[in-house]
A and B are shown apart, each in its own frame.
Chain A
Amino acid sequence: MIRVELPAHLRTLASVNGEVTLDITGQATQRSVLDALEARYPMLQGAIRDHVTQNRRPFLRFFACQEDLSHESPDAPLPEQVATGKEPFLIIGAIAGG
Chain B
Amino acid sequence: MSGVRVLVGTKKGAFILTSDGKREKWDVSGPFLSGWEIYHLKGSPVEPNRLYASQSSGWFGQQIQRSNDGGKTWEPVGNKFVYDGIPGTHQWYDGTAHPWEFKRVWHLEPSLNDPDTVYAGVEDAAMFRTTDGGQNWQELSGLRGHGSGPHWAPGAGGMCLHTILIDPSRPDRMFIAISAAGAFRTDDAGKTWRPINQGLKSLHIPDPTAAVGHCVHRIAMHRSRPDVLFMQKHWDVMRSDDAGDSWHEVSGNLPTDFGFPIDVHAHEPETIYVVPIKSDSEHFPPEGKLRVYRSRTGGNEWEALTKGLPQTDCYVNILRDAMAVDSLDSCGVYFGTTGGQVYASANAGDSWAPIVRDLPAVLSVEVQTLP
Q: Could you list which residues of chain A lie within 8 angstroms of chain B, going by C-beta atoms?
A: 7, 9-10, 13, 43, 45-48, 50-52, 57, 59-60, 93-94, 97
Contacts and interface: CB of A to CB of B under 8 A. Distances in A.
Contacts of B279: none
Interface size class of B (residues with CB under 8 A): 10 to 19
Contact of B58 (A45, A46, A59): A59
Interface of B: 35-36, 57-63, 76, 79-82
A46 B79 contact: yes
B61 A46 contact: yes
A57 B79 CA distance: 15
Contact of B82 (A52, A59, A94): A52
Most buried by A among B57, B62, B82: B57
B82 A45 contact: no
A10 B35 CA distance: 11
Given A51-B79, A59-B59, A97-B58, 6 more contacts: A9-B60, A46-B61, A46-B62, A52-B82, A57-B61, A59-B58
B192 to A, nearest CB: 26
B239 to A, nearest CB: 38
Contact of A51 (B35, B36, B82): B82
Nearest to B62: A46
Majority-rule SS of B interface residues: loop
B82 A57 contact: no
A57 B62 CA distance: 12
B133 to A, nearest CB: 15
Contact of B57 (A9, A45, A51): A9
B147 to A, nearest CB: 25
A47 B63 contact: yes
Contacts of B81: 51
5 contacts: A9-B35, A47-B79, A57-B60, A94-B59, A97-B58
A52 B100 CA distance: 13
Contacts of B35: 9
A78 to B, nearest CB: 22
B117 to A, nearest CB: 22
A93 B59 contact: yes
A47 B36 contact: no
B62 A9 contact: no
B36 A9 contact: yes
Which 6 A-B pairs give the minimum distances between C-beta atoms?
A43-B76, A47-B60, A59-B59, A93-B59, A51-B80, A46-B79
Contacts of B60: 9-10, 13, 47-48, 57, 60, 93
Contacts of A59: 58-59
A94 B60 CA distance: 11
B63 A43 contact: yes
Contacts of B63: 13, 43, 47
B76 A13 contact: yes
Nearest to B12: A98
Nearest to B77: A43
Contacts of A60: 59-60
Contacts of A51: 79-82
Contact of B61 (A47, A94, A97): A47
B59 A46 contact: no
Contacts of A48: 60
A93 B36 CA distance: 13
Contacts of B79: 43, 45-47, 51
Contacts of B80: 45-46, 51
Contacts of A52: 82
A65 B36 CA distance: 30
A10 B60 CA distance: 8
A84 to B, nearest CB: 29
A84 B63 CA distance: 33
Nearest to B79: A46
Contacts of A46: 61-62, 79-80
Contacts of A97: 58-59
Nearest to A13: B76
Contacts of A45: 79-80
A35 B65 CA distance: 22
Interface hub of A13, A57, A94, A97 (most chain B Cβ within 10 A): A13
